[in-house]
């Protein structure tokens, strides 16, 4: 079905199962260790060999020789596949910027260049260290600051320009002009990338850990020169992705090539120390914010100019995008530069763009409020807008940012104290807040539903569950639509044999995939109407029965029926509206006045994200995002060796992420909104919103506590002293 306008009547009979806080139905499988993750598929494929990757140790250049003799002679080793023997392979997918494997060119440090296969993992790992590689290495430039100094102020090709920023900024009564820096971030998901590949009759099956099944299948087929029909991808459980598993990665390519050569199933996991440089990461950014306002706080001019790095051909981190949509100001200038560098590939990480962009914009807004002598809550509320700041003809579909600000301030007990005015013994206490903005895109999403003779319903879609709760909200959607109890619905996900869904990414997964399942259920209802020869009589589904023309017919009596459909979204949604999610974050911190140690004391998020399909799983998304925001604020940082062109802190000891002790009480409030333009279920994404703005709120709270303004993330104790 095409969703092209809000339904006049509430087609989706919401509230019996959807909207209920149901614990995830796959929870018992996970906590008992029975959920089948990619590296552990002994249930479906036996006789597995272990492959261990060999990774380039130069940032760029050519491989002149790979000597495998010593490795091949090592105990247990059965074979080695090298990039030189395979040769250059077709590029997997337009959004994978750097090639994953094959040929003699090294595009970045830790690019995969061989895989050693042995009976046992330890044998493969030991032998991999014996592979000798000679390079014709090249040096390159890896200093983002240096490129920023050259490109900054070049406004020849802006992302957007309205009015006359320069004139308005020059005339503004109160102005701010500051630079902010955000470091690179690693997805640091719990489960490293892993795949098992097995061939039969020229067809390959890959059990892997991937967010986007159809992309993965298409990419692997292209890379291996196969027809898509000869590639099967299965990824029913994923131990975290955050964007790092949107695309095909080297583990699947190496496993497939090794399994083909050795004629046995081969499994390859990327070692933790390979994740940082071999896979993707969020680029570092440097951002300049300039804001002008009149004395009463109304913004007259805003400019956001940023730079990030990318492999040649990529787009880096779009840190300026939210600034186009968040606050009104008639004179606007938005500029985004990309510095091409052969650092490992920068690509999407949770809330790509906004996560970094709001770290600068929302600190700048705090600084402006202080200059104006305004409460930062009221400064933001004053500059809120219900239409596109770039085009007043285009409204937001449903925007309740002011409610987020005011309900948050009330729930938090916001008093806007002066900086460095609160003290408890050796601790300086501070409160900070920030706004949150994240787009809410959707993608076409399909599903197949099958009514079984015992009135059970089977739902099949290649949608993934990356820890988000997809299984549960899809079951709730199907149960609601078909009038069945939740227990009667079985959901199967993550298999390329199932209809193509939106997949998980960009916080489009839940909204898109539930709408696709709803469309498939409507198709099944039509099929049932045909079977019952109901004509135009309306059907109603409840209590495992269909009610039509005064008859109550148990679904169990209908026999086996199946239907398939997908949801598509017309112009009405994205061309005539801006569909986005909004939030406000409030935090309290304590800063030790002698050591600079920072402790979080409490966090509150108020979210405007349309209808909440399941407040338990949605809350988990929010608090998970908030934890990631604590990491971005206080500790996470990919270090760049600007001489050698790689990231030296490539493990979880030197790339720090928050642990339980770092996280205080977290409170989440969802506004009771429903977005009629978003999807038939009126739902929007929450998976990325929870991260947006958090780091700025913390930096603002640290300033409020200590009086020290840090514009260079992460905010660490040494910078406060």
* 246, 329, 463, 612: residue in contact with ligand MOS (rule CB under 6 A): 246
The per-residue DSSP string of 583-615 comes to EEEEEEEEEETTT--EEEEEEEEEEE-BB-S-H
- CA dihedral over 457, 458, 460, 464, signed as positive or negative: positive
Q: Interface with ligand MOS by CB under 6 A: which range of 195-203, 237-245, 478-486, 545-553?
A: 237-245
243 scored as a contact of ligand MOS (CB under 6 A): yes
The DSSP code sequence of 306-346 is EEEEESTT-----TTHHHHHSS--SEEEEEEEEEE--SSPB
Pairing of strands 2-3, 561-569: parallel
CA distance 718 to 243: 31
210 makes contact with ligand MOS (CB under 6 A): no
- Interface characters, 297-336, with ligand MOS (x: CB under 6 A): ----------------------------------------
Range in contact with ligand MOS (rule: CB under 6 A) among 141-149, 342-350, 397-405, 426-434: 342-350
Q: Binding to ligand MOS by residue 467, rule CB under 6 A? A: no
**Does the protein bind ligand MOS through residue 349 (CB under 6 A)?**
yes
Smallest gap from residue 246 Cβ to ligand MOS (A): 5
If you ran DSSP here, which 8-state letter would residue 239 be given? S
Assess 505 for contact with ligand MOS (CB under 6 A).
yes
| By CB under 6 A, residue 506 contacts ligand MOS | yes
Closest approach of ligand MOS to the CB of residue 394, in Å: 24
Burial of 116 (0-12, 13-18, 19+ CB in 10 A): buried
211 binds ligand MOS (CB under 6 A): yes
Size of the site for ligand MOS (CB under 6 A): 11
| Region from 238-246, 366-374, 629-637, 699-707 binding ligand MOS, contact rule CB under 6 A | 238-246
Query: Which of 715, 701, 5 is closest to 376 using CA atoms?
Result: 701
Contacts of 105 (CB under 8 A, 6+ apart): 61, 62, 63, 88, 99
The answer to whether 343 contacts ligand MOS (rule: CB under 6 A) is: no
Token pair for 615: 């407040």
Q: Does 478 bind ligand MOS (CB under 6 A)?
A: no
Residue nearest to ligand MOS (CB): 243
646 half-sphere exposure, CB direction, 13 A CA radius: 24
Q: Output 98 or 479, the one with its CB closest to ligand MOS.
A: 98
Q: Is 9 a catalytic residue?
A: no
**How far, in Å, are 316, 317, 518, 589 from residue 356 at the CA level?**
12, 8, 34, 21
Minimum Å distance from CB 464 to ligand MOS? 10
348 lines the binding site for ligand MOS (CB under 6 A):
yes
472-492 burial by CB neighbour count: b if 16+ within 10 A, else e?
Answer: bbbbbbbbbbbbbebebbbbb
Contact segment (CB under 6 A) with ligand MOS among 102-110, 344-352, 481-489, 522-530 equals: 344-352
Nearer to ligand MOS, 50 or 216 (CB): 216
- The yes or no reply on residue 494 touching ligand MOS (CB under 6 A) is no
Select from 19, 236, 352, 631 the one that contacts ligand MOS (CB under 6 A): 352
d(CA 43, CA 29): 14
Active-site residue among 234, 480, 637, 688?
688
Angle CA(418)–CA(420)–CA(424) in degrees, nearest 5? 115
What is the binding site for ligand MOS (CB under 6 A)?
A: 211, 241-243, 246, 348-350, 352, 505-506
Residues labelled catalytic: 688
């Amino acid at each position: 079905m095409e969703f092209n306008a809000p339904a006049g009547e509430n087609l989706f009979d919401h509230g019996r199962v959807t909207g209920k806080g149901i614990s995830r139905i796959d929870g018992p499988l996970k906590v008992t260790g029975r959920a089948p993750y990619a590296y552990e598929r002994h249930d479906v494929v036996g006789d597995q060999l272990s492959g261990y990757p060999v990774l380039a140790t130069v940032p760029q250049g050519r491989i002149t020789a790979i000597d495998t003799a010593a490795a091949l002679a090592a105990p247990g080793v059965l074979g080695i596949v090298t990039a030189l023997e395979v040769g250059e392979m077709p590029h997997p997918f337009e959004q994978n910027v750097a090639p994953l494997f094959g040929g003699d060119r090294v595009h970045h440090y830790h690019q995969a260049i061989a895989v050693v296969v042995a009976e046992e993992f330890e044998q493969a790992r030991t032998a991999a260290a014996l592979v000798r590689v000679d390079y014709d290495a090249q040096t390159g430039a890896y200093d983002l600051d240096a490129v920023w100094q050259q490109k900054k102020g070049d406004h020849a090709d802006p992302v957007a320009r309205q009015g006359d920023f320069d004139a308005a900024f020059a005339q503004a009564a109160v102005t701010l002009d500051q630079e902010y820096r955000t470091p690179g971030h690693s997805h640091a998901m719990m489960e490293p990338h892993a795949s098992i590949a097995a061939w039969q009759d020229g067809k390959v099956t890959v059990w892997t850990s991937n967010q986007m099944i159809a992309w993965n299948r298409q990419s692997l087929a292209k890379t291996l020169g196969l027809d898509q029909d000869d590639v099967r991808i299965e990824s029913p459980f994923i131990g975290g992705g955050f964007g790092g598993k949107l695309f095909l990665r080297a583990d699947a390519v190496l496993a497939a090539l090794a399994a083909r050569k050795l004629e046995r199933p081969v499994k390859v996991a990327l070692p933790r120390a390979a994740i940082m440089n071999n896979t993707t990461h969020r680029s570092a950014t440097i951002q300049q914010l300039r804001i002008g306002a009149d004395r009463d706080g109304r913004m007259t001019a805003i400019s956001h100019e940023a730079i990030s790095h990318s492999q040649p051909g990529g787009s880096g981190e779009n840190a300026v995008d939210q600034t186009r949509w968040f606050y009104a100001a008639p004179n606007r200038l938005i500029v985004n530069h990309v510095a091409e560098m052969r650092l490992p590939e920068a690509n999407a990480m949770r809330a790509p763009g906004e996560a970094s962009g709001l770290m600068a914009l929302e600190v700048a807004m705090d600084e402006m409020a202080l200059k104006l002598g305004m409460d930062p809550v009221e400064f933001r509320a004053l500059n809120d807008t219900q239409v596109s700041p770039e085009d007043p003809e285009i409204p937001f579909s449903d925007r309740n940012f002011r409610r987020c600000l005011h309900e948050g301030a009330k729930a938090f007990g916001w008093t806007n104290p002066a900086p460095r005015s609160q003290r408890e013994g050796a601790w300086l206490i501070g409160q900070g807040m920030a706004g949150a903005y994240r787009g809410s895109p959707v993608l076409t999403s399909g599903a197949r539903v099958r009514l079984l003779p015992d009135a059970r319903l089977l739902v099949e879609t290649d949608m993934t569950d990356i820890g988000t709760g997809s299984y549960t909200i899809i079951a709730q959607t199907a149960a609601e639509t078909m009038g069945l109890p939740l227990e009667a619905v079985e959901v199967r996900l993550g298999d390329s044999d199932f209809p193509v869904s939106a997949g998980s990414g960009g916080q489009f997964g839940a909204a898109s995939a539930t709408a696709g399942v709803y469309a498939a259920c409507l198709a099944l209802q039509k099929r049932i109407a045909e079977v019952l020869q109901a004509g135009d009589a309306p059907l109603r589904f409840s209590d495992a029965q269909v009610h039509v023309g005064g008859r109550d017919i148990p679904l169990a009596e209908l026999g086996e029926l199946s239907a398939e459909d997908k949801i598509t979204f017309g112009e009405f949604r994205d061309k005539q509206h801006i569909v986005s999610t909004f939030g406000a974050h409030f935090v309290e911190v304590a800063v030790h006045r002698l050591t600079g140690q920072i402790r979080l004391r409490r966090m509150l998020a108020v979210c405007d994200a349309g209808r909440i399909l399941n407040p338990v799983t949605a809350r988990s998304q929010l608090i998970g995002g908030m934890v990631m925001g604590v990491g971005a604020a206080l500790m996470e940082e990919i270090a760049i060796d600007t001489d050698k062109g790689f990231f030296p802190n490539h493990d979880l000891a030197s790339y720090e992420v928050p642990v339980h002790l770092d996280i205080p009480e977290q409170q989440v409030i969802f506004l009771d909104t429903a977005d009629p333009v978003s999807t038939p279920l009126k739902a929007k994404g929450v998976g990325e919103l929870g991260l947006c703005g958090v780091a700025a709120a913390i930096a603002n709270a640290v300033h409020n506590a200590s009086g020290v303004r840090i514009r260079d993330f992460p905010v660490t104790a040494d910078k406060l002293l």
